[in-house]
Amino acid sequence: MEAKNKNFTAHILVVDDDKRLNKLLEKFLIDNNHYVDTAQNTKSARKKIAVVSYDIIILDIMMPGENGLDFLKYIRQEYNTPVLMLSAMNETKNRIVGFEIGADDYLGKPFEPKELLLRIKAILRRTEENKLASKDSNNLLQLGNILYDAESSIIWKNKKKITLTSKENELLNILINGAGKTIDRYILINNLKLGARGIDITISRLRKKIENNPKVPSYIITVRGEGYTLPRNLLEVK
């Protein structure tokens, strides 16, 4: 069932054998700009999650046939969809088991609808943060003991954030793309639109930022009479 506002926040599957509660949750969540499907048993829920990629599954523990905990085991084997479990207040043991299996959060019955919204919001926020972290990590290169984000012109050295100038970033990119090879000084001069002195200054500044000992460089190695090289064995995609 669709939310009134097409710019809905999340696509949610509610799995509970209580038909009345399903209808109430469906209406409440739709009124709060969520897109909602419901299922009264895990058999129906399995069919739905096989064809729809949900943002969150709200899952009751106590259901006839396959219960919520057993269904959660199946979900965790096949999907990484966040799951918020609904539980009676006295089911402490089941809550612990649920967290061990992989539940993202719990909400005891009866509950305030507003609290449900806040918990959904928190799960969505954590999920988005994890996605961004994953995306960011896929853009990182590890060079020895530093992490490098070419897109942001940032390196992290000993957990300290260091910003590169545009020329420093361009230079490091050229060396990384040619890792293991000697990059001729004239190639750097032409690509960076700098004179010989400008290249020397940029190399010196970059070494101060990334080298453990700029006087004895291990990242940007001078090849006498030719140019510079970055050892390929330092390069690792994160």
Q: What is the pLDDT of residue 2?
A: 45
pLDDT at 204: 93
Averages of pLDDT over each 10 residues, the chain, 238 residues: 53 94 94 93 93 91 90 87 83 78 87 92 77 54 82 82 85 90 91 86 92 92 93 70
The pLDDT value given to residue 27 = 94
**Alpha helical stretches, state H, the chain:** 19-31, 42-51, 68-78, 92-101, 113-138, 166-177, 185-192, 196-210
What gap in Å lies between CA 48 and CA 54, rounded to an integer? 9
- Give the pLDDT score at 135: 47
**Cβ atoms of residues 36 and 26 within 8 Å:** yes
Predicted local confidence at residue 13, as pLDDT: 96
* Total-model pTM: 0.55
The pLDDT of residue 129 is 64
The tokens of 40 are what? 């009264």
Q: Please report the domains of the chain, with CATH numbers, ordered by start residue.
A: 11-138 (3.40.50.2300), 140-237 (1.10.10.10)
Q: Which long-range contacts (CB under 8 A, 24 or more apart) does 24-31 make?
A: 25/58, 25/116, 26/1, 28/113, 28/116, 29/3, 30/1, 30/2, 30/3, 30/4, 31/4
pLDDT on residue 5: 42
